[in-house]
């Protein structure tokens, strides 16, 4: 079978797959292409291939429809006990069950099961890549309550300087005391990172609320509520409209 290589016209194949909602990111789309799972007009595609207007794209033999219209971006207040996943084989409630049905919709990143707060939902794999890849270093803001109460100055200083976890050094970009705990900003998103950082300085987290991602804020959204991103918020995410 012939192989589709770089073309002069059309949308790049990785972006096509991500925007269509079948791949959660361009990186995943690239892995599919390298594995020979993607065809364009019947020919196996290679990295860098373009998708001309009207071309037929298939993944594992299933046709992929071209994305139309602008991408969907939703802000959701994830309640504690809800999975930040598209589905769950154990039947637990997921964030997608709290949002409208949109083809290709998926959560951007994750929040622990017992944590709550802002999570974005989108059908745009490119946006997911930009917000979750470590090189972009988007800030994540948290409000934490601890069993021991307000975090003292000594512990705050250690969080700002960095604490040693089992997967390496972790440092808060900004941290300040707040009633019953603290508020902090991170650009990383390791598994249960905030809880582990607080435990490293002697504090047990009883409630963890994510209040912001990049330039987006949770605002007045109540647990389980969602809203569409405003035009201004879409511009901060790199969209023209």
Catalytic site positions: 112
Distance linking the first and last C-alpha atoms of the chain: 41
Helix axes 26-34, 125-132, angle to 10 degrees: 110
Q: Which residues, including other chains, have CB under 8 Å from residue 110's CB and lie 6 or more apart?
A: 84, 85, 119, 189
Collapse the DSSP code of 94 into the 3-class scheme (helix H, G, I; strand E, B; otherwise coil) and give the result.
strand
3-state secondary structure of 45: strand
Do strands 62-64 and 57-59 pair parallel, antiparallel, or not at all (unpaired)? antiparallel
HSE (side-chain half, CA atoms, 13 Å) at 70: 11
CA distance 159 to 116: 21
Q: Three-state SS across 112-138?
A: CCCCEEEEEEECCHHHHHHHHCHHHCC
């Amino acid at each position: 079978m012939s192989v589709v290589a770089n073309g002069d016209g059309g949308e790049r194949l990785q972006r096509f797959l991500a925007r269509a909602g079948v791949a959660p990111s361009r990186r995943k789309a690239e892995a599919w292409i390298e594995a020979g799972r993607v065809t364009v007009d019947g020919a196996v595609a290679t990295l860098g291939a373009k998708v001309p207007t009207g071309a037929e794209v298939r993944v594992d033999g299933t046709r992929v429809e071209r994305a139309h219209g602008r991408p969907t971006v939703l802000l959701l207040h994830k309640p504690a006990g809800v999975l930040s996943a598209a589905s769950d084989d154990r039947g637990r409630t997921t964030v997608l069950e709290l949002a409208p049905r949109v083809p290709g919709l998926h959560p951007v990143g994750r929040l622990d099961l017992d944590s709550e707060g802002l999570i974005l939902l989108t059908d745009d794999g490119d946006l997911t890549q930009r917000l979750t890849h470590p090189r972009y270093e988007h800030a994540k803001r948290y409000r934490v309550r601890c069993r021991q109460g307000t975090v003292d100055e000594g512990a705050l200083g250690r969080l700002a300087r960095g604490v040693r976890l089992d997967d390496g050094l972790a440092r808060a970009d900004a941290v300040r005391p707040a009633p019953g705990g603290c508020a902090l900003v991170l650009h990383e998103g390791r598994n249960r990172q905030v809880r582990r950082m607080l435990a490293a300085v002697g504090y047990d987290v009883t409630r963890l609320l994510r209040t912001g991602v990049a330039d987006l804020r949770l605002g007045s959204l109540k647990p389980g509520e969602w809203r569409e991103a405003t035009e201004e918020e879409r511009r901060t995410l790199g969209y023209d409209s």
